[in-house]
Amino acid sequence: MQWILAVYKEIVLAAKFIKILLRGSEMQKFILILSLFLFLLVSPLIAIEKISISNAAEIGRIPDIEDADAAPKANVPFDMNSLKSKWRDRIKAIRNSGKLPIIDIESSYNPKKLNVRSFAKIMDKEGVALIAFSPQVGEKGFKEGKLWTDNIRHLISADPWRYIPTTVAGIYPAWTEKPEDFLNEQIKHVKEDGYPLMGEFEFRHYPSPPEYKRGEMYRDVDIPINSKVGHRLFAFSQESGIPFQIHYEIEDKLLSSLEEMLTAYPKAKVIWCHLSQIRYQVRSAIYGHDYVERLIKKYPNIYFDTAFGSTESVYPGSRERHARIWGNEHGKVKEEWIRLITAYPWRFLAAMDLGGDRMDELPEKNKTLRKFLENLPEDVREIVAYKAAWKLLFNEEL
């Protein structure tokens, strides 16, 4: 009955408009035409606003605060079902906007330098769906006796749409000075709090290009991967099914130790960060696309992230372009790497490697990552960009 009445009212209104057009004064006709013009002009803007509001709800609201510490801690164990529901909607909304969603599997951050409100806006603009953000303890925290920070719980509470809970970054000084105690803390919180991913552990790590230029050699880290702490980490991943990341420079003398561990713990889920990033070519004659393929075929749970430098990036220690995956300066990836990734797309994970000293580099890192992804076939691109990470972390496909 109500719909009949609504239709009747519309017919009456239309009849009045027609009557004015046929019999009304010139002024009445002018006002009517002007009203129709304004309606036609404004109605698309209203529709766009409604769509934007709808998309904002799906893509995730922008936090009201700037400092994550101002938010209460998220409850633990994390409610992964609730979080994944938000993340699925966000990924879908980014896809529907015409952008390729990105899940960054490997980045760390300094909680004191992260403005969660502005960072959320940057992520939305860049089409970055999720970041596995690993918080850093830092020198000040370590001097205070800290080997762990709950900041990620504040961050998830402030913005549950954009971040994957990830344990503390295994970097200087907490990991390098007290590796066994540090690992104990990580394992404890994975078990108690339900973290789906462990952050990057630096076993062999050269200072980053900015650190090298600043003369900060404390990041020159060398912890044998087959040491006692290495065995404990691999064993925990094998028992729990929780993936972890390693920074392990690509050098001939280091490869046998890594394979020793992969053989001893075949079910450990290992993400070897920085595909084909070789700081010193003279120290690496074995590694290449064929070596990586052999690892993939032999070890079912080794994965590779794609956080590497741009075509122009030069490592100051060697003065070499250390991102060896590029074929030329125009962003063309070498054909042998395209063929390999196309053959095994689920073993490669998008990553940007943001850090506490480079929080403002997301647009630049995202540009490099997308330039790499553009070289891949469309279906492979989707897998590497976000689907492979989702499947590894949650054992399900999007």
Rounded CA separation 89/82 (Å): 11
> CB under 8 Å, gap of 24 or more: what pairs does 372-376 form?
372/306, 372/325, 372/331, 372/333, 373/100, 374/331, 375/331, 375/332, 375/333, 375/338, 376/333, 376/338, 376/341, 376/342, 376/345
Look at residue 288 and give its three-state secondary structure: coil
Residue 328 has what pLDDT? Answer: 87
Residue 30 has what pLDDT? Answer: 62
Neighbours of 30 (CB within 10 A): 11
Residue 56 has what pLDDT? Answer: 54
Residue 242 has what pLDDT? Answer: 98
Average per-residue pLDDT for the chain: 90
Residue 29 has what pLDDT? Answer: 59
Rounded CA separation 393/21 (Å): 65
What is the Cα 161 distance to its own chain's centre? 12
Residue 211 has what pLDDT? Answer: 92
Grade residue 44 by pLDDT with cuts at 50, 70 and 90: very low
Residue 58 has what pLDDT? Answer: 76
When computed from its CA atoms, the radius of gyration of the chain, rounded to whole angstroms, is: 26
pLDDT above 70 for 342: yes
Straight-line distance from the first to the last Cα atom of the chain, in angstroms, rounded to the nearest whole number: 44
pTM, full prediction = 0.86
Q: Which residues pair with 246 in a beta bridge?
A: 201, 272
Residue 356 has what pLDDT? Answer: 79
Residue (of 313, 259, 264) closest to 286 by Cα position? 259
Residue 28 has what pLDDT? Answer: 62
Grade residue 4 by pLDDT with cuts at 50, 70 and 90: low
Residue 47 has what pLDDT? Answer: 39
By mean pLDDT, which of 5-19, 303-317, 320-334 is the weakest? 5-19
pLDDT above 90 for 386: yes
Residue (of 304, 217, 289, 219) closest to 258 by Cα position? 304
Across 85-89, average pLDDT: 97
241-275: pLDDT as tens digits: 999 999 999 999 999 999 999 999 999 999 999 99
What is the Cα 181 distance to its own chain's centre? 28
pLDDT above 60 for 14: no
